Structure formats: structure tokens, C-alpha cells
Structure 1
Amino acid sequence: MGTPVAVGVADRDDGTSIQATAATTRTPRAASTHRPRRLIRAPSALRRLHHRPWACRRRRARSDWHSGPVPDVRVAESGELTEQELGVAEALVRTAFGAGFRSHDWLHGVDGVHVVVSEDGVLLAHASVVARTVGHVDRVFDTGYVEAVAVAEDHRGRGLGRLVMDHAESVIRDRHHIGALNAVQSAVPFYAGRGWMTWNGPTSADTPDGRVDTDDPADRIMLFPTSSSDPSTFVETVALVCDWREGHLW
């Protein structure tokens, strides 16, 4: 049904950058047999867009910022960004992910809470946290699903990916039971180092046609526990079940 908004452009704290790659088109498949596997914690581990100045109600980044000028961070509720601002953010994400990025990939994150990082009126980084539901065993979790994480190419290596995720994770902690995302392979160590856990069990989705298997070896589903969720409750012999949306379900 299309590629996910693969969460994968993020700056590493060691100064290296992670290159975004769009995932291949995927569709739900018939159910398959799964081996029990453990939920694991991995070890720690754009170019500048010449648009009109980024208009935002600013707040300064954290006081421990130590890589050049302190950028401005805005957390914008759904509907607060103007069409122009959304257009600039979409251009940033599309540039980062390349030709494989499709219209519904961006639309998946439009209605979420947007975290935007700018400097001198230029957008440098973006992430969106979308309210979804993920079911597991006998529980349905209010989930903050992270989409459209991107950092301007000329500004990678400054820790902007870390900065934008600091604020995205704060939204998850404050408003949701858990966080979830589907990462590109190169970004898995970055997220794991922040406490995101790799899900190795089966996945499904509740669709208008009923529950369907969504297992795909190219998916890298990751979960972010909060004080409202206990990681030990996630058993990898039982599927994670996401809600329905157009395009790629995860």
C-alpha cells in the first residue's frame, strides 16, 4: 500500500549522521508462524531550505545545548501550523527521504503534534507525534506514533535529531501510554540508545475488512515505554495490533 514515513533521519550524539532510505512498498500478508523472541534493548549507541523565514512561537532549546547557536524549538498542536509552514516541513522531509516518499507518507503525520527546530528563521528539523492505538494481549494502548523525523542535510551531526526527539518523547510521556515508530535500519541504534525497544514479534492491524497480518521483515517496529506502561507486559508470542489508516499500516 506504500512506504511508511520511515523514521530515520536523525543526528547521532557521536557527530555522525544517519541517512534516510525509503522502505519498499508493502501490503498485509497472510498469517505466518512465529518463533518466540525476546524484546531487546540495543546498546547505546536538505540541504538548507531557502524559504521565507520560519514563523513560529519560539522557545529556546535546553540549556545544556553545546553545539553552536541555540536553535528555537516549537511544539505545535494539530492545526496550528499554517499551510506555508506545513509546506516547508513537508519539503524538508521529502528531501531527506528522496523519491520513495509518497503523499500519504506525509499525510500520516499532518494531524499530529509537530516538533519543529529552526534557526535564524530556517527550518532545520522536524518530527510529528500522532495519536494512534496499539493493542496487545487484552489491552489497548493510547499510543504516540512518531512520524516524519528529518534533519536538514547541511545541519546533520549537530545533535538536532536528538533535540527534536527529546521533545517528541516528552509529548509521548505526557499524553500517551506508549510510543511507537517504524524505523529505517540505519536509525535503529539511535532510537535504541534513547530507550526505544525493538519489537521482534508478530504484527497485525484492525482494518475495515477485519484483522489482517502485517508482518514484514523490512519493518523495524520500536516501542517507547512510559510510566503508564510496563515493558514486561509485551510478550512477543502475541501480536501487536495497530489501528487502520490509508497507506502502510505501520
Structure 2
Amino acid sequence: MDVLLKHTSQLGDGELRELRELLDRAFDGDFSDEDFEHALGGMHALVREGGELVAHGSVVQRRVLHGGRALRTGYVEAVAVRADRRRRGLGGRVMDALEGVIERAYVLGALSASADGARLYEGRGWAAWGGRIGALSPAGPVRLPDEEGSTYVWLPPGGVLEDPGGRLDFDWRDADVL
């Protein structure tokens, strides 16, 4: 089983349907249209077994304001492994591929983790952001306290943040600010 990297533009309609089905099943139906939209527009790490999609993750570009700078950030979305293939290292293989993309193209990696997912990310060197989290909404910056403690960051080798406890303000996307 190899991990294949493809841009969203390289995924056909059938692959997108297959991807959505995997995500719906992996997240027990708790994967919204907005969640799916957030996972598109970047690079996808796809793992197939016997021709079937069994694991996925994507990284999309977002801008994050931090310490007066707009950081080009690779935001990890929709990491999922089919239920009958979990605990076999597939999530780690997906993350290897996505971290490689982040290392080559971004200043910072970020993601929002569930309690279950946090174990995978922490074991790979991702750390929960200790400062405040916000978004640049149409009405201006707003704090997102529900994202604090579940937003994780990863610095590519040699990467440094000026204020590792400061506020991170992410670009706004539909459904981020309610």
C-alpha cells in the first residue's frame, strides 16, 4: 500500500464521491458539507488497499495572523482511516505524506484535533497551541474559545514562531464563525 499524493484538481467525480463516503463512515455521519468543503483545494494523501480507499488526509493553505505577520499555513483536514483498517499505522502514513507537503511549502502546520486524534498528532510532535485562537470574520477578529486546546501546530524543521504563546487568527471560512 503506497500513499498517493494528489491535488484536488486531479480527483475525478468518482474519487470525490468515494472520498466523501469514506469520511462520512469514518466520522459516523458527523462530517458536514462544510467540513468536506474545507478539505478541498489542496493536496490529498490517499491510501488504497485492493483498489479501495482506506485512508485519507488533506492539507490546504490558510493564512494565519500571528505576531503581526501573515503566516502561510498548511492546515490538515479530514484525516480518516476506514474502521476495519485502524490501528495499523495508516494514519501515520497519511500524516508522513502531509507533513512532507507542509515542510516543503509552508511556514507552519495546523489542525483541529478530536480527543482520539490528538494522540496520533502528539506522538508525531504536534502540540496543542497554548495561546488564544481566533478567526478573521467578516465583522473583524473574533475569539474562538471552543478551538482553544484542540488546535494543534507543527513547525517544519528549523521553523520558529516569534511568540509561541500568542494569539493565532485564522482566515475565515464558511461555518467557522457562527
TM-score for the superposition, normalised by structure 2: 0.93
- Measure, in 2, the Cα distance between the counterparts of 1:234 and 1:147: 25
Instruction: Kindly tell me the number of residue pairs found equivalent between the two proteins.
Output: 177
Change in Cα spacing, 1:218 to 1:97, as seen in structure 2 (3 Å) is farther
Task: Please name the residue that 2:174 is paired with.
Answer: 246
Q: Which has the higher helix share?
A: 2
1:248, distance to aligned residue in structure 2 (A): 2.4
Uncovered stretches (5+) of structure 1, i.e. residues with no partner: 1-70
Task: Please name the residue that 2:132 is paired with.
Answer: 202
Counterparts of 1:155-234 in structure 2, within 5 Å, are 155-216=85-146, 220-227=150-157, 229-231=159-161, 233-234=162-163
Q: Identity over the aligned pairs, expressed in percent? A: 38
2:133–2:147 Cα contact (<8 Å) kept: no
Change in Cα spacing, 1:205 to 1:170, as seen in structure 2 (3 Å) is same
Ranges of 4+ aligned residues in structure 1 off by more than 6 Å:
none
Secondary structure of 1:248's counterpart equals coil
1:145, distance to aligned residue in structure 2 (A): 0.2
Whose RCO is larger (CA < 8 A, sep 6+)? 1
TM-score for the superposition, normalised by structure 1: 0.67
Task: Please name the residue that 2:27 is paired with.
Answer: 97
1:204–1:241 Cα contact (<8 Å) kept: yes
- Measure, in 1, the Cα distance between the counterparts of 2:104 and 2:11: 21
1:228, distance to aligned residue in structure 2 (A): 5.7
- Measure, in 1, the Cα distance between the counterparts of 2:55 and 2:3: 9
**Highest Rg: 1 or 2?**
1
Deviates more, 1:104-113 or 1:212-221: 212-221
Task: Please name the residue that 1:132 is paired with.
Answer: 62
Task: Pick one of 16, 19, 22 that aligns with 1:86.
Answer: 16
1:129, distance to aligned residue in structure 2 (A): 0.3
Give CA-to-partner distance per residue, 1:144-184, whole Å, 9 cap, x none. 00000000111112110111110011010011001000000
